[in-house]
């Protein structure tokens, strides 16, 4: 069996990240429960179907936005591995609409992801779990990386948090749900990878 090229590993990593984003979106944006009596009242059934459709659309948008930074970091890591071109987060920050206080946390998160992906691209394996095992060697090391990643994401979320109390409550709820579920899903994946 031949060793996958960095471009093939990139595709594997992207697919893995997309699956994670979708799993996270399912946890953060829960599907409304259908009651038995809704079947007998068509207007309630139609409203339920409408709400479910909105949740599905919301999940797609959530996953797409969640992946923006990861896709960009993956592209930069490919350039780093294949062409020895160091990432330049300043260019990305210049093009972004991030507030000044969020630029530092974004840069930290971005560089952490670039190094992680570059390590995976340089590792030996035919799927992402084997790349992770090759890179981190133990569940503890991988969990330490996930902890650093979670802290970087939380710092960015805190920096982006709005100052108005009306919008802060909804954002706090979503941010907390993302934080809790990201940690849980990451630990579950680590358990499976290093079983």
Give the model confidence (pLDDT) of 122-159 as tens digits.
Answer: 999 999 999 999 999 999 999 999 999 999 999 998 88
Which is it for the CA torsion 142, 151, 66, 70, positive or negative? negative
DSSP conformational letter for 85: P
What separation in angstroms does the CA of 170 have from each of 134, 137, 180, 188, 189? 40, 39, 16, 27, 28
Q: In whole angstroms, give the CA distance from residue 49 to residue 117.
A: 39
DSSP labels, 22-82: HHHHHHHSPPPPPPGGGGG-HHHHHHHHHHHHHHHHHHHHHHHHHHHHHHHHHHHHHHHHH
Residue 6 has pLDDT above 70, yes or no: yes
pLDDT at residue 178 in the model? 87
pLDDT at residue 1 in the model? 60
Over the stretch 12-66, which tens digit does the pLDDT of each residue have?
Answer: 999 999 999 988 888 876 665 666 555 566 666 566 566 667 777 777 887 888 8
Over the stretch 73-102, which tens digit does the pLDDT of each residue have?
Answer: 999 999 988 888 787 777 777 777 788 888
Quick one: residue 84, left, alpha or beta (phi over 0 = left, psi -120 to 50 = alpha)? left
Over the stretch 95-121, which tens digit does the pLDDT of each residue have?
Answer: 777 888 888 999 999 999 999 999 999
What separation in angstroms does the CA of 185 have from each of 2, 57, 102, 106, 189? 31, 22, 25, 22, 6
pLDDT at residue 54 in the model? 74
Q: What is the CA radius of gyration of the chain?
A: 19
Structure tokens at 165: 């109390």
Query: What are the φ and ψ backbone dihedral angles of 138, each rounded to 5 degrees?
Result: -150, 160
pLDDT at residue 26 in the model? 82
Mean pLDDT lowest for which of 30-34, 66-70, 171-175? 30-34
């Amino acid at each position: 069996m031949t060793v996958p090229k960095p471009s093939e590993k990139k595709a594997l990593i992207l697919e893995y990240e997309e699956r994670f984003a979708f799993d996270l979106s399912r946890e953060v944006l829960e599907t409304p429960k259908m009651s038995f009596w809704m079947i007998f009242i068509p207007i309630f059934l139609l409203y339920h179907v409408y709400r479910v459709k909105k949740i599905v659309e919301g999940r797609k948008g959530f996953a797409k936005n969640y992946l923006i930074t990861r896709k960009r970091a993956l592209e930069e890591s490919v350039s780093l591995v294949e062409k020895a071109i160091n990432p330049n987060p300043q260019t990305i920050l210049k093009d972004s609409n991030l507030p000044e206080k969020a630029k530092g946390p974004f840069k930290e998160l971005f560089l952490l992801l670039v190094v992680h992906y570059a390590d995976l691209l340089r590792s030996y394996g035919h799927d992402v779990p084997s790349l992770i095992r090759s890179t981190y060697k133990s569940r503890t090391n991988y969990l330490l990386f996930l902890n650093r990643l979670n802290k970087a994401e939380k710092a960015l979320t805190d920096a982006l948090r709005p100052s108005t109390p009306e919008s802060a409550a909804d954002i706090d709820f979503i941010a907390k749900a993302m934080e809790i579920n990201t940690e849980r899903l990451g630990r579950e994946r680590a358990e499976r990878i290093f079983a």
